[in-house]
Amino acid sequence: MYEGVVQDLIDELGRLPGIGPKSAQRIAFHLLQAEETDVRRLADVLVQVKARVKFCSICFNVSEEETCRICRDPRRDPTVLCVVEEYKDVVAVERTREFKGRYHVLGGAISPIDGIGPDQLRIRELMTRLGDGTVTELILATDPNLEGEATATYLTRLLKDFDLTVTRLASGLPVGGDLEYADEVTLGRALAGRRSAR
């Protein structure tokens, strides 16, 4: 319907997650009217991101160098390892400023329906890291959903003969949430995990 290259742009934008055909059109028309330098800056950063962003050779976090900022930081405790699914989970945990250990990014969660089994995740690399005995506590910080739970259960079983403290993030009510609106599974976990108030 649109002139050749405009349609190409709409098609490419429409492939991005969360961008439907209407949004793709809207963005394309915005770009048609935008300054050429602004559009070129976006194009450049797209190329740069693929050229410069690598994955840390130790923890598989996103990094512009061979190893990531966290793995290079000598102040980070090498005995505590937080296992997460994705890079964005590293950022989420970092944002809390509560964690001083290091990470291991699995690259996803076990999901047979999507064809993702343990071999598609960086579990073998995790085992290799645990081999030298530096790590004494492993925090399984996978997502609190079906796939995340399956992954945590799988890892717990795999690690049962290791001399390691293996923990999971607490389940319960979100802070600032409303008891009335909590789903029954969350509320059930909050009850089961109740703590002394004094």
Site for a copy of itself, rule CB under 8 A: 1-6, 8-9, 12-13, 15-19, 23, 25-32, 36, 38-50, 52-53, 62-64, 68-69, 86-88, 91, 94-95
CA 11/CA 27 separation, integer angstroms: 11
Cβ 121 to a copy of itself, closest distance in Å? 14
Contacts 24+ apart (CB under 8 A), 175-178: none
Residue 108: how many CB atoms within 10 A of its CB?
A: 17
Cβ 104 to a copy of itself, closest distance in Å? 17
Of residues 87 and 154, the one with the C-beta less far from a copy of itself: 87
CB half-sphere exposure, 193, CA atoms < 13 A? 12
CA 134/CA 34 separation, integer angstroms: 53
Tokens, residue 7: 């349609």
Cβ 197 to a copy of itself, closest distance in Å? 34
Of residues 107 and 172, the one with the C-beta less far from a copy of itself: 107
Cβ 185 to a copy of itself, closest distance in Å? 24
Of residues 51 and 192, the one with the C-beta less far from a copy of itself: 51
Of residues 55 and 162, the one with the C-beta less far from a copy of itself: 55
Nearest to 173 by CA among 163, 181, 161: 181
Cβ 89 to a copy of itself, closest distance in Å? 11
Cβ 76 to a copy of itself, closest distance in Å? 16
Of residues 28 and 155, the one with the C-beta less far from a copy of itself: 28
CA angle 127, 130, 134 (to 5 degrees): 170
3-state secondary structure of 2: coil
Of residues 19 and 130, the one with the C-beta less far from a copy of itself: 19
CA angle 191, 95, 114 (to 5 degrees): 70
Per DSSP, what are the bridge partners of residue 140?
Answer: 83, 168
